């Protein structure tokens, strides 16, 4: 199966869920045009409170549709855009990508993966028990965060439902994703 985009979403206000749309525009160095989290410096409220000058490593939130299917099997109803992702993919294990991976979205946009989205208490306000469902443990006891990945826009462009997702792994040492 070729990796592809199942849904795209944005929201101009700081709300938990985002509205799905047919197309989003990624802007180099900023993020999703018209989204509250777009900008060269941090826009997430908790990070702005700590240091508003730090770079925005969370310009684009990507999530794999396979997680929504896993959650549905456990009784959770999470629609596309429901947990604030901008891009919902299918056919690619986003959580296994190393830091620095470049994802080609559509014809021209490129997002560089910066790290993991750290699940937060807002998930439980969306649906009781969802925070715990977004966490798991590997065989060695390592915590697995399943709430998606974050990235920065390296090349802008339109991203649409049905677009292909290409993967370019970084050259050299492969660094495991950590929360950003």
Through-space distance between the first and last CA atoms of the chain, rounded to whole angstroms: 29
Q: Is the pLDDT of residue 15 over 90?
A: yes
Report the share of the chain in percent with pLDDT over 90.
94
Handedness of CA 117, 119, 121, 125 (dihedral sign): positive
What pLDDT is stored for residue 163 in this prediction?
98
Domains and CATH numbers, the chain: 4-168 (2.40.33.20)
Read off the tokens for 89.
Answer: 């993919």
Handedness of CA 29, 48, 57, 63 (dihedral sign): negative
Residues 6+ positions from 41 with CB-CB distance below 8 Å: 52, 53, 54, 55, 56
CB distance 89 to 3 below 8 Å:
yes
Q: Would you place residue 48 in the very low, low, confident or very high pLDDT band (cuts 50, 70, 90)?
A: confident
Can you tell me the distance from the alpha carbon of 137 to that of 61, in angstroms, rounded to the nearest whole number? Answer: 22
Place of tokens 């049905």: 162
What pLDDT is stored for residue 173 in this prediction?
93
Can you tell me the distance from the alpha carbon of 65 to that of 5, in angstroms, rounded to the nearest whole number? Answer: 9
Q: If you average pLDDT over residues 147-167, what whole number do you get?
A: 98
CB distance 150 to 60 below 8 Å:
yes
CB distance 78 to 120 below 8 Å:
no
CB distance 43 to 12 below 8 Å:
no
The pLDDT tens digits for 86-123 are 999 999 999 999 999 999 999 999 999 999 999 988 99
β-bridge mates for residue 159, sequence order: 24
């Amino acid at each position: 199966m070729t990796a592809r985009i199942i849904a795209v979403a944005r929201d101009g206000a700081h709300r938990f869920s985002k509205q799905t749309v047919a197309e989003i525009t990624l802007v180099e160095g900023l993020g999703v045009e018209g989204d509250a989290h777009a900008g060269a410096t941090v826009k997430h409220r908790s990070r702005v409170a700590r240091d508003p000058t730090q770079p925005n490593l969370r310009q684009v939130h990507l999530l794999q549709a396979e997680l929504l299917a896993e959650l549905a099997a456990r009784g959770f109803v999470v629609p596309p855009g429901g947990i604030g992702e901008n891009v919902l993919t299918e056919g690619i294990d986003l959580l296994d990508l190393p830091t620095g991976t470049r994802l080609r979205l559509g014809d021209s946009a490129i997002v560089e993966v910066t790290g993991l989205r750290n699940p937060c208490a807002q998930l439980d306000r969306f649906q009781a028990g969802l925070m715990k469902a977004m966490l798991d443990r590997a065989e060695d006891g390592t915590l697995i965060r399943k709430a998606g990945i974050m990235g920065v826009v390296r090349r802008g462009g339109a991203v649409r439902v049905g677009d292909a997702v290409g993967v370019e792994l970084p050259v050299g040492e492969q660094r495991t994703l950590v929360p950003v």
